[in-house]
Amino acid sequence: MLNVIELFAGVGGFRIGLERTGHFQVVWGNQWEPSKKAQDAFVCYSTNFKDNGIHSNEDISTVKSEYLPNAEVLVGGFPCQDYSVARSLSGEKGIQGKKGVLFWEIMRLISERQQLGRKPKYVLLENVDRLLKSPSKQRGRDFGIMLAAFHNAGYDVEWRVINAADYGLSQRRRRVFIFAYDRSLKYAKQLSKISNPKILEQDGFFATKFPVTMEFLNTKKITEGNLDEDLVNISDEFKGNFYNSGIMKDGEFISMELTPLKSAPIPLSDILEEEVDEKYYLTEMAKEKFIYLKGSKKVERTSTTGHKYIFSEGGMSLPENMDLPGRTMLTSEGTTNRSTHVVPDKKTGRWRYLTPVECERLNGFPDNWTNTGMSERMRYFCMGNALVVDLITLMGERIHEIEIQEPQIEKSKEKQEEQITLF
The catalytic residues are 80
Evaluate whether 263 touches 173 at the Cβ level (below 8 Å): no
Torsion of CA 7, 8, 11, 16, to 10 degrees: -30
Evaluate whether 164 touches 388 at the Cβ level (below 8 Å): yes
93: number of Cβ within 10 Å: 9
**How far apart (Å, rounded) are the C-alpha atoms in residues 161 and 178?**
9
**How far apart (Å, rounded) are the C-alpha atoms in residues 72 and 4?**
6
List CB contacts of 299: < 8 A, sequence separation 6 or more.
310, 311, 312
* Residues, the chain: 423
Handedness of CA 29, 35, 39, 40 (dihedral sign): negative
Evaluate whether 243 touches 253 at the Cβ level (below 8 Å): no
Evaluate whether 405 touches 74 at the Cβ level (below 8 Å): no
- Phi-psi label, residue 165: left if phi above 0, alpha if psi -120 to 50, beta otherwise: alpha
290: number of Cβ within 10 Å: 20
